[in-house]
Amino acid sequence: MNLTLKIWRQAGPNEQGKFVNYPVSDISPDSSFLEMLDILNEQLVEKGEEPVAFDHDCREGICGTCSLYINGRPHGPDTAITTCQLHMRKFKDGDTITIEPWRAKPFPVIRDLIVDRSSFDEIMQAGGFISVDTGGVPDANAIPISKVDADLAMDAAACIGCGACVAACKNASAMLFVSAKVSQFALLPQGKIEAKRRVQKMVAKMDELGFGNCTNTYACEAECPKEIQVTNIARMNREFLVAKLTDRVK
């Protein structure tokens, strides 16, 4: 495959960025998208040019760090995958592929295609944990949890925090991410004790960091690589309303 890559290049967070075109040739359709970028960077290094900076780690669809905006879609033209799971057979010979970083104020560009997503960490730190001392490991049946609740909590916990929901949303809303983290605890008895304070603190931190509001376009759910459902947002809204009416956060 012979392709033209239109890649966003930006030297730093305070530098002006621009798109730069790079031709690549003889790309195998079975190559992953990141392998294709590796090939490009090898060519740039051989020419004495600066390689394209992009983030990655596991390359197995688990960590979410490989987040790229490809041809107008988070993680590219496929469903329920991360960028590292995208293969070049999803493109055609001669295509021009536009590659950008996430575009959201709370995700400032560090360099080229890498953005700072530490805002997600701040939201988690604001309340996404349980501090109950559980002591030793209990027997499997010591804390009865219904199969339905256990499955819903596990589905919510599958969120990898890649930020595709923010990138897909016209308002740069983080509500799908935050609601998944709220749900994974709120559905289980271990998370009930601090549920009211947790949801208020996480929502407050989300607003403080500049994420937008949800307007129910469902773009977040459509682009989520782990298929997190917007029903979690409804659950978070209920948790938040109940907490506001019955609890106070100092």
What is the per-residue pLDDT across 154-167, written as a single tens digit (0 to 9) for each?
999 999 999 999 99
Q: Are residues 122 and 105 in the same domain?
A: no
For a pLDDT cut of 70, what percent of the chain falls above it?
A: 94
Is the per-residue pLDDT at 39 higher than 90?
Answer: yes
Q: Which CATH number characterizes residue 40's domain?
A: 3.10.20.30
Length of the chain: 250
Q: Are residues 145 and 92 in the same domain?
A: no
Q: Are residues 151 and 106 in the same domain?
A: no
**Residue 145's pLDDT is what?**
85
**Residue 138's pLDDT is what?**
65
Q: Are residues 121 and 242 in the same domain?
A: yes
Q: Which CATH number characterizes residue 183's domain?
A: 1.10.1060.10
Q: Are residues 140 and 46 in the same domain?
A: no
Question: Residue by residue, what is the 3-state secondary structure of the chain?
Answer: CCEEEEEEECCCCCCCCEEEEEEECCCCCCCEHHHHHHHHHHHHHHCCCCCCCCCCCCCCCCCCCCCCEECCEECCCCCCCCHHHCEHHHCCCCCEEEEECCCCCCCCEEECCEECCHHHHHHHHHHCCCCCCCCCCCCCCCCCCCHHHHHHHHHHHCCCCCCHHHHHCCCCECHHHHHHHHHHHHCCHHHCCCHHHHHHHHHHHHHHCCCECCCCCCHHHHHCCCCCCCHHHHHHHHHHHHHHHHCCCC
Residue with tokens 């001669």: 94
Q: Are residues 106 and 127 in the same domain?
A: no
How much is the average pLDDT of 220-237?
A: 97
Q: Are residues 25 and 55 in the same domain?
A: yes
Domain-terminating residue out of 87, 110, 133: 110
Q: Are residues 237 and 121 in the same domain?
A: yes
- Residue 127 banded pLDDT, cuts 50, 70, 90: confident
- Residue 79 banded pLDDT, cuts 50, 70, 90: very high
**Residue 134's pLDDT is what?**
57
Q: Are residues 102 and 155 in the same domain?
A: no
**Residue 105's pLDDT is what?**
94
- Residue 249 banded pLDDT, cuts 50, 70, 90: low
Domain of 235?
Answer: 117-246
Domain-terminating residue out of 79, 110, 141: 110
Q: Are residues 126 and 239 in the same domain?
A: yes
How much is the average pLDDT of 105-120?
A: 97
Q: Are residues 12 and 89 in the same domain?
A: yes
- Residue 56 banded pLDDT, cuts 50, 70, 90: very high
- Residue 189 banded pLDDT, cuts 50, 70, 90: confident
Q: Are residues 174 and 97 in the same domain?
A: no
Is the per-residue pLDDT at 238 higher than 90?
Answer: yes
The count of structural domains within the chain is 2
Domain-terminating residue out of 66, 85, 110: 110
